[in-house]
């Protein structure tokens, strides 16, 4: 099971609260006189941002506002994605806890009793192919046929009715986790089911046909574009360490083998680093190319030839990998590569060419090198994938920006101390060097739009290697790791829990507000329908334990480790929006405050961070005298000025990479878990961390805990000095002008700001 990140909880709560307001709104428009317009929400989430758990958590909360247990129809385009989602949601799956009390099934396996049983929430998973056929009466699809063992009517008809034995119609929520693939026909068919809500995982969704008309009705009723979409900040995803922090693109105007060789060299170095750090990571590489063409001539490759003479790119790549010592058992060829009976591939050539039929076998193989074209299943996303070779030669239509998501996820959702383990590498082969700037611009545009927090570096090389090189450290240097010592928070947290009211026998404060429901009454003399609004009580509750834990998880997950939610009174159940629910959320907030206010940052000299080598681009690297590495690249103008000023002071120092360097845990609410100071200096048995862009930290009350960090014996180990541009006052904290620099430290327990006109003067004072 996984725990949701704070940004994921905030997103799901935003969508669920919008639904609750929408459901009870008098301004809710109608598709027809009797059919209300569905609630609509588009979720825009970065690759690796966790759209599936966010949508699942949203559905769970929406269910709490429904008078009858709903049916959720979860749709994906491909069978492999559906199977993967089913495995995650079913009992024991990593997301099963997000759908507590849900029955999870494939749509094709449902029967009449499950659809009519309003006592249990139902999740039904299906591909679009399950129902995507227009002429239902003549359709060969099973969903449109009556089953003798199931019902006298079709499954589709049962889903349209979804009536309980008491005559209540169950709400239907449709979730499409690949909204960009929706077609007009699919939308028309789904609207036949008269859903209560539609959730799609795309904010750039085309809105054809009825969907577009529905959205326009919502806008006419007062809902804006912002109301109809929930956008996940890429910054939150990166800081949650779900994706890699850097992308490096290399362009090679050379032969295929000379473009792949530097990939193999870098992969070997990464494997060695993983072994040194004893990490649970298996670096992998993908190779994207055309399939059944002759690599040298661009004509169709002849499958009626001996394997040794074939020129299809997947075969050439496979042979080159094997010739360079890669075990054939570690290589998968996942594409529709043609062979004929009389000229088969070698027995150790692992070909997967049957799409859905052999995807599970491919997935279970855990291959380290995967050769494929763009048809690789959408269900394949392996965080261990660090490298991508992309063959853009011979005017290939393969788009580099389309492959980025394949290499972006971060293993174990944890950034490593070595920045190379937080970096995705692309090796792009091309016939024309003028193509590379165009590729860079397209990728840069995509990065700026979708992944602005991810750093992009590029180089071009027509030879056998890249221009980025590893810069070793000139001497060993260590920094004590920082831990959060929160023992003093145990009693205040327990005091907050002891004060929780026992709601187990409280039938008043645990009751939520009524929810508007529409009942259709037929008038005997005509077929006209009359809509009668009634208020119905909520029927679904959550435990006090769930409410408190969720609030802690949203505000500051580290506090969960000291919060033992074992008291039987926390078994009490309450409705959303009830007085008890609101009071219990306040308890969660109080627990987080108790943790943050009583915790301290402690340095640990027994657990040291070792400064390692860095990657630099010699073309724009700056050399320094006193730095631990001879040179650094990629510094912006402000960082260059600070680096020069620090170097002038004569002490050993290092540029600390934010994508895999030394960090200090933050004691503050919010999405940022850790603070990566830009520069670290060693002086007088102390480590001094300097950060020239710290305005956000200065404005936080908890920022004062960063300044002077002591070890368990009370000795000062780490000093943090923050800098802000301009002149500031410190009581209250406020910017007066933009001249010079203000250095922040701690004096008599209070944040103290000192202003200086030059960087050199500011750095000198900060180090003394």
Position 397 confidence tier, pLDDT thresholds 50, 70, 90: low
Q: What is the rounded distance in angstroms from the CA atom of residue 435 to the CA atom of residue 377?
A: 28
| Residue 497: per-residue pLDDT | 96
> Taking 50 as the threshold, does the pLDDT of residue 432 lie above it?
yes
Average pLDDT score, the chain: 86
Segment holding 642, helix H or strand E = helix 637-648
Q: What is the rounded distance in angstroms from the CA atom of residue 545 to the CA atom of residue 492?
A: 18
Q: Mean per-residue pLDDT for 246-260?
A: 89
| Residue 376: per-residue pLDDT | 64
- The residue assigned the tokens 């192919």 is 129
- Token code pair at residue 570: 């926390």
| Residue 463: per-residue pLDDT | 43
238-467: CATH homologous superfamily?
A: P-loop containing nucleotide triphosphate hydrolases (3.40.50.300)
- The residue assigned the tokens 């020239």 is 692
Q: What is the rounded distance in angstroms from the CA atom of residue 645 to the CA atom of residue 640?
A: 9
| Residue 417: per-residue pLDDT | 80
**708-711/716-730 β-pairing:** antiparallel
Provide the total of helices (H) and of strands (E) in the chain, helices listed first: 19, 34
> Taking 70 as the threshold, does the pLDDT of residue 183 lie above it?
yes
Question: What architecture is domain 6-232?
Answer: 3-Layer(aba) Sandwich (3.40)
Of 194-198, 207-211, 311-315, 555-559, minimum mean pLDDT range = 207-211
Q: What are phi and psi of 529, to 5 degrees?
A: -105, 145
Do the domains at 6-232 and 238-467 have one common CATH topology? yes
Q: What is the rounded distance in angstroms from the CA atom of residue 412 to the CA atom of residue 426?
A: 21
Query: How many CA atoms lie less than 13 Å away from 423 in the CB half-sphere?
Result: 24
Domain boundaries, the chain: 6-232, 238-467, 487-598, 607-766
Position 138 confidence tier, pLDDT thresholds 50, 70, 90: very low
Q: Mean per-residue pLDDT for 90-113?
A: 91
> Taking 80 as the threshold, does the pLDDT of residue 180 lie above it?
no
Ranked by mean pLDDT, which of 519-523, 568-572, 726-730 comes out on top? 568-572
> Taking 90 as the threshold, does the pLDDT of residue 78 lie above it?
no
> Taking 70 as the threshold, does the pLDDT of residue 90 lie above it?
yes
| Residue 137: per-residue pLDDT | 46
- Look at residues 398, 264, 385, 244 and name the one whose alpha carbon lies nearest to residue 335: 398
The conformational region for residue 131 under phi > 0 = left, psi -120 to 50 = alpha, else beta, is: alpha
- Token code pair at residue 347: 């027995």
Pairwise pLDDT comparison (334 vs 463), residue with the higher score: 334
Sign of the CA dihedral running 53, 57, 60, 62? negative
Secondary structure (3-state) at 152: coil
Q: What is the rounded distance in angstroms from the CA atom of residue 551 to the CA atom of residue 556?
A: 8
Beta bridge partners of 429: 252, 391
Position 32 confidence tier, pLDDT thresholds 50, 70, 90: confident
What are the tens digits of pLDDT across the range 336-357?
Answer: 899 999 999 999 999 998 777 7
CB 125 within 8 A of CB 99: no
Residues above pLDDT 70, as percent of the chain: 89
| Residue 133: per-residue pLDDT | 60
What are the tens digits of pLDDT across the range 698-730?
Answer: 777 556 678 899 998 889 999 999 999 999 988
Sign of the CA dihedral running 527, 532, 537, 541? positive
| Residue 418: per-residue pLDDT | 83
Q: What is the rounded distance in angstroms from the CA atom of residue 406 to the CA atom of residue 400?
A: 11
Residues above pLDDT 90, as percent of the chain: 50
Q: What is the rounded distance in angstroms from the CA atom of residue 536 to the CA atom of residue 512?
A: 10
| Residue 212: per-residue pLDDT | 79
Q: What are phi and psi of 329, to 5 degrees?
A: -70, -15
Q: What is the rounded distance in angstroms from the CA atom of residue 399 to the CA atom of residue 674?
A: 35
Ranked by mean pLDDT, which of 7-11, 380-384, 404-408, 439-443 comes out on top? 7-11
Nearby residues of 109 by Cβ (< 8 Å), 6 or more positions away = none
| Residue 79: per-residue pLDDT | 81
- The residue assigned the tokens 């040298």 is 296
> Taking 70 as the threshold, does the pLDDT of residue 147 lie above it?
no
Annotate 413-481 with DSSP letters as a single string: G---SSGGGGEEEEEEE-S-TTHHHHHHHHHHHHHHHH-TTSEEEEEEESSSS-S-EEE--SS--EEEE
Nearby residues of 26 by Cβ (< 8 Å), 6 or more positions away = none
Beta bridge partners of 654: 680
Position 142 confidence tier, pLDDT thresholds 50, 70, 90: low
> Taking 60 as the threshold, does the pLDDT of residue 203 lie above it?
no
> Taking 80 as the threshold, does the pLDDT of residue 4 lie above it?
yes
Of 138-152, 294-308, 353-367, 519-533, minimum mean pLDDT range = 519-533
């Amino acid at each position: 099971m996984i725990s949701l990140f704070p940004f994921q909880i905030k997103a799901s709560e935003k969508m669920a609260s919008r639904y609750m307001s929408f459901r009870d709104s008098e301004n809710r428009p109608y598709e027809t006189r009797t059919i209300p317009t569905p609630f609509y929400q588009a979720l825009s989430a970065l690759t690796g941002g966790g759209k599936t758990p966010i949508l699942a958590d949203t559905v769970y909360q929406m269910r709490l506002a429904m008078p009858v247990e709903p049916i959720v129809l979860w749709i994906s385009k491909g069978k492999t994605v559906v199977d993967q989602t089913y495995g995650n949601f079913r009992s024991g799956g990593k997301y099963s806890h997000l759908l507590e009390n849900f029955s999870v099934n494939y749509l094709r396996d449902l029967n009449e009793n499950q659809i009519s049983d309003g006592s249990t929430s139902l999740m039904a998973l299906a591909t679009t192919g399950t129902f995507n056929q227009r002429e239902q009466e003549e359709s060969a699809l099973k969903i449109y046929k009556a089953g003798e063992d199931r019902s006298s009517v079709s499954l589709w008809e049962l889903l349209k009715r979804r009536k309980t034995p008491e005559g209540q119609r169950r709400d239907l929520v449709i979730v499409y986790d690949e909204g960009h693939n929706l077609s007009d026909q699919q939308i028309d068919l789904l609207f036949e089911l008269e859903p209560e809500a539609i959730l799609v995982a795309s904010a750039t969704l085309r809105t054809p046909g009825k969907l577009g008309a529905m959205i326009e009705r919502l806008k006419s009723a007062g809902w804006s574009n912002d109301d109809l979409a929930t956008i996940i900040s890429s910054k939150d995803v990166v800081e949650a360490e779900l994706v890699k922090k850097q992308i490096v693109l290399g362009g090679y105007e050379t032969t295929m083998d000379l473009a792949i060789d530097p990939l193999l060299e870098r992969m070997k170095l990464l494997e060695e680093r993983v072994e040194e750090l004893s990490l649970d990571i298996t670096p992998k590489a993908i190779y994207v190319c055309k399939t059944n063409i002759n690599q040298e001539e661009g004509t169709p490759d002849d499958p009626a030839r001996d394997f040794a003479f074939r020129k299809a790119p997947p075969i050439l790549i496979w042979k080159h990998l094997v010739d360079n010592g890669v075990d054939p058992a570690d290589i998968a060829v996942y594409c529709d590569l043609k062979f004929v009976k009389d000229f088969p591939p070698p027995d150790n050539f692992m070909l997967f060419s049957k799409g859905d039929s052999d995807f599970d076998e491919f997935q279970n193989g855990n291959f380290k090198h995967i050769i494929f074209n763009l048809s690789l299943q959408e269900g394949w996303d392996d965080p261990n994938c660090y490298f991508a070779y992309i063959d853009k030669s011979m005017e290939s239509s393969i788009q580099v920006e389309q492959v980025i998501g394949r290499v972006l996820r971060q293993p174990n959702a944890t950034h490593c101390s070595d920045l190379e383990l937080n970096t995705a590498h692309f090796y792009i082969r091309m016939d024309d060097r003028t193509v590379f700037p165009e590729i860079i611009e397209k990728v840069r545009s995509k990065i700026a739009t979708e992944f602005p927090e991810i750093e992009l570096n590029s180089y071009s090389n027509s030879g056998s290697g890249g221009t980025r090189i590893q810069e070793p450290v000139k001497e060993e240097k260590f920094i004590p790791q920082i831990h959060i010592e929160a023992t003093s928070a145990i009693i205040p947290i327990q005091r907050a829990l002891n004060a929780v009211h026992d709601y187990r026998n409280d039938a008043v404060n645990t009751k939520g507000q009524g929810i508007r429901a529409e009942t259709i009454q037929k008038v005997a003399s005509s077929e006209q329908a009359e809509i009668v609004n009634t208020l119905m009580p909520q029927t679904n509750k959550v435990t006090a334990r769930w409410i408190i834990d969720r609030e802690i998880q949203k505000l500051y997950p580290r506090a969960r480790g000291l919060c033992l939610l074992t008291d039987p009174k926390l078994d009490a159940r309450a409705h959303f929006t009830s007085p008890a629910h609101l009071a219990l959320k306040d308890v969660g907030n109080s627990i987080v405050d108790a943790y943050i206010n009583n915790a301290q940052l402690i340095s640990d000299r027994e657990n040291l961070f070792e400064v390692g080598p860095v990657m630099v681009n010699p073309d724009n690297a700056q050399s320094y005298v006193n730095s631990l590495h001879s040179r650094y690249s990629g510094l912006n103008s402000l960082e260059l000025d600070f680096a020069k000023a620090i170097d002038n002071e004569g002490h050993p120092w290092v540029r600390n990479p934010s994508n895999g360097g030394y960090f200090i845990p933050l004691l503050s609410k919010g999405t940022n878990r850790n603070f990566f100071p830009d520069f670290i200096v060693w002086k007088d048995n102390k480590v001094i961390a300097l950060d020239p862009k710290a305005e956000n930290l200065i404005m936080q009350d908890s920022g004062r805990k960063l300044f002077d960090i002591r070890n368990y014996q009370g000795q000062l180990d780490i000093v943090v000095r923050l800098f802000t541009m301009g002149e500031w006052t410190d009581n209250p904290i406020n910017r007066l002008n933009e001249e010079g620099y203000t250095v922040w430290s701690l004096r008599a327990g209070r944040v103290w700001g000192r202003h200086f006109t030059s960087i050199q003067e500011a750095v000198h004072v900060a180090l003394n």
